[in-house]
């Protein structure tokens, strides 16, 4: 079904009542279209596809505008969304159609009820993050064809999302087991775009990234996603350079800083760095790893853009222990972790 708005719009510009009447006719016509989630709209030779509910919302807004001026403003906005594409420098979103990205989160509180387990995504690697995190970040902060670095690749959640969304990526991990898992997960994911995804077994505080970038004739990365160990909560390997083997909090922060210093020169200016991390308890004390790592980043050439709080979705193990943890919290005078952080920084 195709709706041509050219005449409706041109004949509506004489009076407010005419405009209302003409747009009401279009609205009724669209409302009658059954089981259609998208509708092709034309204006003056340009055409585009709209989500039905968004289009109905736009038309209602035009009809319900209190003044003729306001109504004409909404009509012009509708024309722009049909005829023009407004892109930002760092993503592929068409800002003239921003209402359609209703699944892109813009609040600082992220609540997910369950992890995305589509395609190759799985919860098999203890400590991996939910795919929705890299998905949101990649769509907001990169374009198709950009290069992404994940220096703590783990089971490859970021890399799978990159493959899916048409972004090139390099994932590094010093665990042989993680890199093997990464590769097998990536093999299971279909490749809709022609992108390069490379996994490297290495220490992110020492790897020569310049060499890696030269291999692909690219200058730098457009987004870095860091999901380091939450200090020693999960011991990933026996390697001494594994951040989860840091003997003290200070050493952990120092190792995190070394990784930052090694990767930061290779992030394009004005582009984003995301750090995903949670806090920990030790000997009855809350250790704010989130804010401590945030401070490490802010000692460098970055500006803080957002602090996002994300809920922990409940695992079966946690659900079974819920009562016990509630009792412990009441006795010990603390609160049970229900969140982790996503810190967003922009390179100056």
State yes or no: residue 129 binds ligand SAM (CB under 6 A).
yes
249: nearest Cα among 309, 207, 291: 291
Residue 31: exposed, middle, or buried by beta-carbon count in 10 A (0-12, 13-18, 19+)?
exposed
* Among 236, 302, 341, 343, interactor with ligand SAM by CB under 6 A: 236
DSSP classification of residue 307: E
Pairing state between β 221-226 and 147-150: parallel
Residue 183 is a binding residue for ligand SAM (CB under 6 A): no
- CA 181, CA 306: separation in Å to the nearest integer? 31
Residue with tokens 């369950």, as numbered in its chain = 114
Best CA proximity match to 201, nearest among 171, 230, 224: 171
Question: Considering beta carbons, is residue 97 or 227 the nearer one to ligand SAM?
Answer: 227
Q: In angstroms, what CA-CA distances link 298 with 257, 292, 301, 303, 304?
A: 11, 10, 7, 7, 7
Which range in 153-161, 211-219, 264-272, 333-341 contacts ligand SAM by CB under 6 A? 153-161
- The interface region with ligand SAM, picked from 23-31, 95-103, 236-244, 304-312 by CB under 6 A, is 236-244
**CB 287 to ligand SAM: min, Å:** 16
| C-beta of residue 148 within 8 angstroms of C-beta of residue 224 | yes
Report 47-66 residues binding ligand SAM (CB under 6 A). Answer: none
- Which of 168, 205, 222, 346 forms a contact with ligand SAM (CB under 6 A)? 205
Q: Does 127 bind ligand SAM (CB under 6 A)?
A: yes
Angle between helices 16-32 and 68-83 (to 10 degrees): 50
Which residue among 75, 82, 174, 224 contacts ligand SAM (CB under 6 A)?
174
The verdict on 231 binding ligand SAM (CB under 6 A) reads: no
Binding to ligand SAM (CB under 6 A): which residues in 326-345?
none
Q: Which is nearer to ligand SAM, 64 or 261 (CB)?
A: 261
Residue 2's CB is within 10 A of a number of other CB atoms, namely 9
Stretch of 17-25, 59-67, 166-174, 325-333 lying at the interface with ligand SAM (CB under 6 A): 166-174
Residues that bind ligand SAM (CB under 6 A): 125, 127-129, 151-152, 154-155, 157, 172-175, 178, 203-205, 227-229, 236-237, 241-244
């Amino acid at each position: 079904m195709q709706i041509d708005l050219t005449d409706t719009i041109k004949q509506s510009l004489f009076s407010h009542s005419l405009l209302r009447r003409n747009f009401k006719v279009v609205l009724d016509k669209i409302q009658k279209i059954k089981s259609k989630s998208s509708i092709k709209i034309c204006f003056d030779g340009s055409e585009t596809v709209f989500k039905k509910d968004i289009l109905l919302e736009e038309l209602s807004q035009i009809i319900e505008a209190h003044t003729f001026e306001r109504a004409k403003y909404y009509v012009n906005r509708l024309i722009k969304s049909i005829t023009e594409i407004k892109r930002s420098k760092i993503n592929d979103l068409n800002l003239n159609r921003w209402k359609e990205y209703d699944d892109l989160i813009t609040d600082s509180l992220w609540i997910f009820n369950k992890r995305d387990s589509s395609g190759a995504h799985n919860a098999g690697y203890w400590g991996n993050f939910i795919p929705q995190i890299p998905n949101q970040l990649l769509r907001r902060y990169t374009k198709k064809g950009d290069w992404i670095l994940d220096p703590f690749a783990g089971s490859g959640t970021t890399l799978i999302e990159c493959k899916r969304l048409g972004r090139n990526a390099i994932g590094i991990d010093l665990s042989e087991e993680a890199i093997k898992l990464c590769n097998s997960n990536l093999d299971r994911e279909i490749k809709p775009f022609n992108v390069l995804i490379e996994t490297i077994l290495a220490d992110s505080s020492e790897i020569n990234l310049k060499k890696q970038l030269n291999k692909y004739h690219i200058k730098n990365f457009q987004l870095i996603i860091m999901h380091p160990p939450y200090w020693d909560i999960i011991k990933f390997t026996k390697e001494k350079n594994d951040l989860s083997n840091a003997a003290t909090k200070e050493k952990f922060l120092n190792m995190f800083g070394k990784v930052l210093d090694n990767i930061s020169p290779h992030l394009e200016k004005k582009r984003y760095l995301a750090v995903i991390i949670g806090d920990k308890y030790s000997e009855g004390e809350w250790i704010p790893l989130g804010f401590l790592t945030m401070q490490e980043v802010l000692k460098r050439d970055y500006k803080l853009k957002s602090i996002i709080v994300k809920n922990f979705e409940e695992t079966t193990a946690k659900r079974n222990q819920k009562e016990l943890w509630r009792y412990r919290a009441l006795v010990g005078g603390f609160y049970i972790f229900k969140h982790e952080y996503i810190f967003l920084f922009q390179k100056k």
